Structure formats: C-alpha cells, structure tokens
Chains A and B, each alone.
Chain A
C-alpha cells in the first residue's frame, strides 16, 4: 500500500565500496527524484527523472548515478563511497515535474547511509 518505497532503510558500509539504493512508486507519477538530507536537515535535490529525461544537479559528484529501468523505479548507485556521503537519502515522486500540479510531492521514508 506504500506509495513511495525505498530500500534499504539503513545502510552501513565502508569507504570505497559501491552501493545502491532502490526506489519504487506505485502512484503512476511521471517524475521521480532523489534528495539528500544533510546533518542540518537541509534537503537538496540530486536528480530528477521525467519521461526519460534526466536533470542533474551540477553539484552532485559523478560517483552518484541514477538508474531508471521503468517509470515506476529510480535507483541510486553510488561508487567509491566517501565519509562525506553519510546522510539520509530520500526518494520522491510527483505527477508533474517539480510537483507543479495539484498534488505536489510524495516522499519515501528515507535511507540512512553511514560510511565508516
């Protein structure tokens, strides 16, 4: 019944590893996003994916790459993990790009990534 689900909920890994976070939405939305929430609770957009068009925040290191096998899924792959990557990562979706329509955003519950 969950609208936007992401797995895993918690992820602890060593520096230098490669990891993936999965996200799935069952809302039929056209756009999906990845956000990073830092230790100060500030949310920053990383990627948006709309109708096979990827929009990338230029501040995101290229070690981060989104993969969308279909409209309902947007996974986040991270290569060569660094200590500074530790954060909570949120997946979100919206019917219209940037939630312009009537329903705004729907967020997943987040993945807390800890790099040691």
Chain B
C-alpha cells in the first residue's frame, strides 16, 4: 500500500527566500507524481506533473524533481513571494486500479 508523507507539515519563511518542500512515497513503482497548491477555501491547482521517466519539471519559479529509487520528490520555489502562501500537496499514482495517493500537505507561509 502506497503511503505519501510530506514534511514539514508547516513552514514559515521570509519573502525572497528559496525553499524546498519534500514529498516521500513508500512504493517506488509510480507512474507519475503531481504537485498541487490549495488556497484556503478553494480547490486544488495543478502545478507540475512529473512522469516516471522524467527527473524534473519546471514552471516559472517552480522546479519539481523526482527520484524514484529513493522514493522522493521535491518542489523548489525560488524567490518566494507572499502570494505563494498556500498548502502544497503531492500525489503519487502507482498504476492500474490503485488509487492516486495524496500526501497531507505542507502549509507554507511567506512573510512580507
């Protein structure tokens, strides 16, 4: 059974800092891993999707990496801004009719 863990559960950083969010999964046989952000009272916005054959994906100030062998993915946010404050979730898909497994998220606060 796939388990996805995100540490830390909460993170507070000053504006402008570069930061890394971590996502660990127990079953390395994943097909893809997706990063989302969730704003309070709102839905999930897809940020980046990494296929199992890829090692990283980039979008603007965001860079997500995937290391299947170690069961880890990281989301790097460069030059953080107050607008980046949200909860960040990763989700791993393990194949077949197994469900996509979500982590519990990291709540990020960027202080002006």
- A interface with B by C-beta (< 8 Å): 4, 40-45, 55, 57, 90, 92, 98-100, 102-110, 112
The distance in angstroms between the C-alpha atoms of A90 and B49, with both chains bound, is: 19
- In contact, A90 and B44 (Cβ under 8 angstroms): yes
- In contact, A100 and B43 (Cβ under 8 angstroms): no
How big is the B interface, by class? Answer: 20 to 34
B63 CB within 8 Å of chain A? no
- In contact, A55 and B97 (Cβ under 8 angstroms): yes
Interface residues of B in 80-105 (CB under 8 A from A): 87, 89, 91, 93, 95, 97, 99-100, 102, 104-105
Q: Which residues of A contact B91 (CB under 8 A)?
A: 43, 105
The distance in angstroms between the C-alpha atoms of A40 and B97, with both chains bound, is: 25
Partner of A98, one of B44, B46, B93, B105: B93
Q: Which of B43, B45, B102 has the most CB of A within 10 A?
A: B43
Taking the closest CB of chain A, its distance from the CB of B104, in whole angstroms, is 5
- In contact, A40 and B42 (Cβ under 8 angstroms): no
Interface residues of B in 16-60 (CB under 8 A from A): 31-32, 34, 36, 38, 41-46, 49, 51
- In contact, A57 and B34 (Cβ under 8 angstroms): no
Taking the closest CB of chain B, its distance from the CB of A22, in whole angstroms, is 15
4 closest A-B pairs by beta carbon, nearest first, are: A109-B43, A104-B49, A43-B102, A107-B44
The distance in angstroms between the C-alpha atoms of A107 and B91, with both chains bound, is: 13
Taking the closest CB of chain B, its distance from the CB of A58, in whole angstroms, is 11
Q: Which residues of A contact B45 (CB under 8 A)?
A: 107
- In contact, A102 and B102 (Cβ under 8 angstroms): no
The distance in angstroms between the C-alpha atoms of A103 and B34, with both chains bound, is: 9
Given contacts A55-B97, A99-B49, 6 further A-B contacts (CB under 8 A): A41-B105, A45-B99, A45-B100, A90-B43, A103-B46, A104-B46
Q: Which of A92, A103, A105 has the most CB of B within 10 A?
A: A105
Q: Which residues of B contact A45 (CB under 8 A)?
A: 99-100
- In contact, A105 and B31 (Cβ under 8 angstroms): no
Partner of B34, one of A41, A42, A90, A104: A104
